[in-house]
A = this chain, B = another copy of it.
């Protein structure tokens, strides 16, 4: 099946998250303009996104929330379908562990954490066990992990990245800027808050 545009996928994930708060009522409906307002986007965009996944609404009452969530679940792979690991259990690493795991909303499972600091290794953080980075190949292969989250900025992170990729990781999210050698076929995203801050500083007034 044809892949959806990346931006649409991003919004589908956001629709699902905000809608899950509205799901209490079995029979609740939502209009495109209401869903749009929750995400601060244009209602046409909502309708277009839903059109792309083949979801139909009702001319009078809008879109059925429960059905929409179910279709988004199906479209963005079924829940718990992808496994991930996190590198680094410092402040940021721990924050992310607590934010995404255990969560009934996020369908990506965090299978393990890794660190280089002996003080952090062989402990559990909110249910996620932390191993020495040397265990990456073993654990990653064993659990069929495809996504890695990087939260440490050590100079020597490149060997860790290489080990992850060698072991089958296909997507990397890096929260600490820094040039990394990453093959072209790896899905890579970098988020550094400083970039966002500087962009914002430029545009406000």
Residue of B nearest to A108 (CB): B197
Given contacts A147-B204, A200-B147, A201-B147, A10 and B193 within 8 Å (CB-CB): no
Given contacts A92-B95, A179-B18, A9 and B196 within 8 Å (CB-CB): no
Instruction: Report the separation of the CA atoms of residues A196 and B7 in the bound assembly, to the nearest whole angstrom.
Output: 11
Q: Is the CB of B194 within 8 A of A9?
A: no
Instruction: Report the separation of the CA atoms of residues A149 and B188 in the bound assembly, to the nearest whole angstrom.
Output: 24
Q: Is the CB of A204 within 8 A of B103?
A: no
Contact of A76 among B10, B13, B77, B198 (CB under 8 A): B198
Using a CB–CB cutoff of 8 Å, the interface residues on chain A facing chain B are 3-4, 6, 9-10, 13-14, 17-18, 21, 38, 40, 75-77, 81-82, 84, 90-92, 94-96, 98-100, 103, 105-108, 146-147, 149, 170-171, 173, 176-177, 179, 182, 187-189, 191-205
**Top 6 A-B pairs, shortest CB-CB distance:** A91-B95, A92-B95, A82-B201, A170-B204, A13-B198, A171-B200
